[in-house]
Amino acid sequence: MCGILGQINYLSSIVDKESFTKALDLQSHRGPDYGDIFQCEKIIFGHRRLSIIDLDVEAKQPMTSQCGNYVLVFNGEIYNYLELKEELIQKGYQFVTQSDTEVLLKSFIEYGIACIEKLIGMFAFAIFDKKRETTYIVRDRLGIKPLYYYKDDNKFIFSSEIKSILALSGKQEFNRDAVSSYLAFRYPILNDTFFKNIFSLAPAYYITVQNKRVSFTEYWNVSEKFKEQKQDQGEAYYISRLKELMDSSVKLRMRSDVPLGSFLSGGVDSSIITALMAKNSQKKVKTFTIGFQEEGFNEFEFAHMLADKYETDHKEIIIASDNYIETMELLIGYKDAPLSVPNEVPLYLMSKELKKDITVVLSGEGADEIFGGYGRIFRSPYDYERIKNIDKLSLSNEEKESLCKNFIKKYCRDSFQNEIDHFMNIYSYTSIDERKKLLSRTIDIEHLEVELQEKFLSYFNELEDDSYYNKLLYVFEKVHLLGLLHRVDTTTMAASVEARVPFVDHRLVEFAFSIPIQYKLKWIKERPAFLMSDQLSEEYDTPKYLLKKAYEDIIPKEILYRKKMGFPVPLNHWFKGGFNSYARKKLLSTKAKDRDLYNTEEIEKVLSSKNIQTNHSLAMKIWMLVNLELFLEKYFDEE
């Protein structure tokens, strides 16, 4: 796990090594153990190392092949490196290190760019082929590791973090178009960033740079796996295969030459990972959970239950709200973007604390997206289908009337044109009307909404003949998951900790998308025909049914079948106190008004209302705008 940076010049052969080194060292938190640079004509690669596999200096990067023709910089881990190494030894290759980096380099030498098909892991890497004067820049299949790029007429720059690109590319402009996406979906979803001309490479893509030609290639897509759902293999088969893949995924992610442990929230996903770690470890697993001092804002009870069952070396981390704002400001500087959700701060604080004991931590992101964990959303196609076909339903007039009333109450309308229309309603965290109220009229929200909708529609169209349920799952894997992965990468790497995510193993994802929906969202009792998905979920059905069923023998049912709870942060409480005045100071200042970005009259009205003290959704929107303003102050205001 590291930070990488590279610059490829098209014309000039001169690269300022001193400036490059300064830009690379901005990522020293990602790699505090070692930093080095490779430079030749028109090419310069840099690497900051966090030593995880093979701690010897011989495993440092950039790594050059023994023949001198290939140079690699690599961020991430190749979990199946031992198996690949044995395969290469059988082909006559010799190794001078015990690192996965050398295995990756020699896999490329043997198989070319097709080597990525063999990799199980999380990775962002670049390989320069001197003879062909070609550079390949690759991001892993599901976007676990970040990779950004910038290009102009003279150069191409890639990096693990945007700040290093900013240092090399010169003055940057704010991408105002990203604001609407941020408020609606918590991050820019069009592969753009908050900086004009700096982009995020899409997962499962690689870039080829040859002279001045830059091309993009998609090398993996999971959409085909949905077709296998038509051949129902039966619950027993799916449970058996799921357990086999999960066991493999966790065991591979326990390969480390430094101490490792687990985030243990007390929820289903982290509990399963911790239990499997305990099963596969001869030592006590180190586990960590975090909560706030305010009553009701932690899940210590359930984390304790699992920790006691598996006799883990467990630590509770309790944080106070008084240093929350200061930490939020700091973390924006690591992320190079506004924060997305309030729990990024406690995740970072927990990472700092656990760094005292471990360097690698396993985390539960990714299970909800593949197994149907967001019950209220993933069950919502049931709402859409009923209202669309209401005349065909075998319901009394009274039941139909109740159904229509509940539908209007939930959606604030009586129908939707199509699936994508309905999806945008349920998935947009801030509706288009709310964005129009909160933001300046100078932002063309209507036009931006069309672009955002087209992005989602493209994913829906890939599964054109499939069910609405599967389209939702696919979109969440392609879009929603990226936000989660970016958050966990930022909060852990800021503390020089490597996070590994077993549920984001591509083999597991492929398998999960072959499982029919009835094994993910399972009805458990007869349901009233007029209730909406948010009233039905977890009362009349079981989200993530197959995952829970598979681990009933090792996870207490009190954990498996309790209602889903997001990471609790006492945001509403804070708006009763100091955070309200802080938000006023930031969003209603002359500087903020001069940006012509916010509708400050509406924001002042919201901050003055008592609703913000009880309405979490409203408090979240103001919290996001505060983050946006802090970001703008840090990156675009003159010192």
pLDDT digits (tens, 9 = 90+) for 47-105: 999 999 999 999 999 999 999 999 999 999 999 999 999 999 999 999 999 999 999 99
- Is pTM, for the whole model, over 0.85? yes
**Element housing 605 (H / E):** helix 600-608
* Sign of the four-CA dihedral 552, 554, 559, 564: negative
Angle, helices 445-462 vs 178-185, to 10°: value is: 60
Residue 80's domain comprises: 2-220
Does the pLDDT at position 175 exceed 80?
A: yes
pLDDT digits (tens, 9 = 90+) for 316-366: 988 777 778 889 999 999 999 999 998 899 899 999 999 999 999 999 999
Does the pLDDT at position 503 exceed 70?
A: yes
pLDDT at 639 (0 to 100): 58
Helix, strand, or coil (residue 49): strand
Beta strand segments in 2-69, E: 2-9, 34-40, 43-49, 63-64
Rounded CA gap, 55 and 58, in Å? Answer: 8
Closest CA to 386 of 373, 395, 377, 378: 395
Does the pLDDT at position 578 exceed 90?
A: no
Give yes or no for a contact between 347 and 319, defined as CB atoms under 8 angstroms apart.
no
β-sheet bridge partners, residue 216: 207
Residue 59 counted as domain residue: yes
Confidence of residue 133 (pLDDT cuts 50, 70, 90): very high
> What is the phi/psi pair of residue 202, to 5°?
-65, 145
β-sheet bridge partners, residue 566: none
- Residue ending a domain, among 185, 220, 255, is 220
Q: Mean pLDDT over all residues of the chain?
A: 94
Residue 539 tokens read as 């009362």
Give the CATH number, domain containing residue 140. Answer: 3.60.20.10
Does the pLDDT at position 616 exceed 90?
A: no
pLDDT digits (tens, 9 = 90+) for 207-241: 999 988 999 999 999 999 998 888 899 999 999 99
Helix, strand, or coil (residue 620): helix
Residue 560 counted as domain residue: no
pLDDT digits (tens, 9 = 90+) for 138-156: 999 999 999 999 999 999 9
Does the pLDDT at position 614 exceed 80?
A: no
- Residue ending a domain, among 188, 220, 252, is 220
Long-range contacts of 443-450 (CB under 8 A, 24+ apart): 443/176, 443/177, 443/179, 443/180, 443/597, 445/180, 448/177, 448/180, 448/181, 449/180
Confidence of residue 413 (pLDDT cuts 50, 70, 90): very high
Q: What angle do CA 31, 37, 39 make, to 5 degrees?
A: 155
Does the pLDDT at position 571 exceed 80?
A: no
Residue 554 counted as domain residue: no
Residue 607 tokens read as 């901050």
Give yes or no for a contact between 628 and 179, defined as CB atoms under 8 angstroms apart.
yes
Q: Region 463-469: what's the mean pLDDT?
A: 94
pLDDT digits (tens, 9 = 90+) for 268-288: 999 999 999 999 999 999 999
pLDDT at 78 (0 to 100): 98
Instruction: Pick the catalytic residue from 2, 67, 115, 404.
Output: 2
pLDDT at 568 (0 to 100): 62
Give percent above pLDDT 70 in the chain.
97
Closest CA to 103 of 300, 236, 255: 255
Helix, strand, or coil (residue 127): strand
Beta strand segments in 442-599, E: 498-500, 522-523, 541-542
Give yes or no for a contact between 217 and 205, defined as CB atoms under 8 angstroms apart.
yes
Residue 341 tokens read as 């959700």
> What is the phi/psi pair of residue 444, to 5°?
-80, 80
Residue 399 counted as domain residue: no
Residue 225 counted as domain residue: no
β-sheet bridge partners, residue 148: 159, 200
Residue 469 counted as domain residue: no
Confidence of residue 567 (pLDDT cuts 50, 70, 90): low
Helix, strand, or coil (residue 105): helix
Residue 193 counted as domain residue: yes
pLDDT at 576 (0 to 100): 66
Does the annotation mark 2 as catalytic? yes
**Domains: count for the chain:** 2
Does the pLDDT at position 566 exceed 70?
A: no
Give the amino acid at 499. Answer: A
Peptide bond into 516 cis (omega under 30): no
Residue 506 tokens read as 């591509």
- Residue ending a domain, among 189, 220, 251, is 220
**Burial grade of 83 (CB within 10 A; 0-12, 13-18, 19 or more):** middle
Give percent above pLDDT 90 in the chain.
87
